[in-house]
Amino acid sequence: MSKELPFYKFTANEWLTGDICFEPFDIQGLFISVCATYWSKDCSITLARLKQRLSNAQEEQWQCLIDGGYIKVENEQVSISFLDEQMNELSEQHRKKVEAGRKGGEASAKQRLSNAQATVKHKDKDVDIEVDKEKEQDKDIPSFDLFLEYALTKEPNIDHSDLKRKYDIWIEDDWNDGYGKPIKRWKVKLINTLPHLKKVKPLDTISYAEAKKLLDKEDRIKYCKLKGIPENDYRYGNIVHGNSVAF
């Protein structure tokens, strides 16, 4: 425990009113040194240890302190009553502060936990609202652009033409699937359908021969740009005769 006050502030009153002030100066000096050492050891030290620390003192000086009742020795353990009282008071103050700090920490922890739980509930509520909104939107028949946009988030390499055919079939069937069942959640239905639709390779991974077979003129132009083919050789997606790499 950290001592909050030096021992001499505790001994001032004892010194002025006690019998020690009538003792010879050498006894008074030894008593001051004993008190200082005793306090620095948290009021727990043996007589032998004190004598070792204050080796300049004579045996008769020690005996004077003991006989005068300035220090007490029991089972080799030294005690100085007024310093013991002060140490006990400090210990109690320290204990109360620690207890108050612990309770304050627990209260803060509970408040932080409560705030965190409230934040989680709020986020969960926001998520639930977003899910409800998405479910509500999921019930409406989307435009093909929205249909395609959502499909690309799940399968970037989906064949647009095959996807459009599937969309048109559902539209023609009054938004029913191939089994004649109403499509209540089109996003869920689309996710389950995507694995069965055609996929296309990314343009930068296909060969020139494969690129020539692309049905979409914009895809052919995009491929030529990726390959660094001059614009004059693929303008409008047309084949330039005599050029072995352009359309």
CB 183: neighbour CB atoms within 10 A?
19
For 120-135, what is each residue's pLDDT tens digit? 665 655 545 454 555 5
Q: Is residue 125 part of a domain?
A: no
CB 86: neighbour CB atoms within 10 A?
20
52, 69, 85 - which closes a domain: 85
DSSP label at residue 46: B
Q: Is residue 108 part of a domain?
A: no
Residues 166 and 208 in one domain: no
Return the pLDDT at 115: 76
Residues 160 and 230 in one domain: no
DSSP label at residue 174: T
For 127-184, what is each residue's pLDDT tens digit? 454 545 555 556 789 999 999 999 999 998 898 889 999 999 999 999 998 888 999 9
Residues 13 and 80 in one domain: yes
Token code pair at residue 39? 């306090």
Q: Is residue 160 part of a domain?
A: yes
**How many domains is the chain built from?**
3
DSSP label at residue 143: P
Residues 23 and 57 in one domain: yes
Full-model pTM: 0.38
Domain range spanning residue 180? 144-196
For 99-121, what is each residue's pLDDT tens digit? 877 777 677 777 777 777 766 66
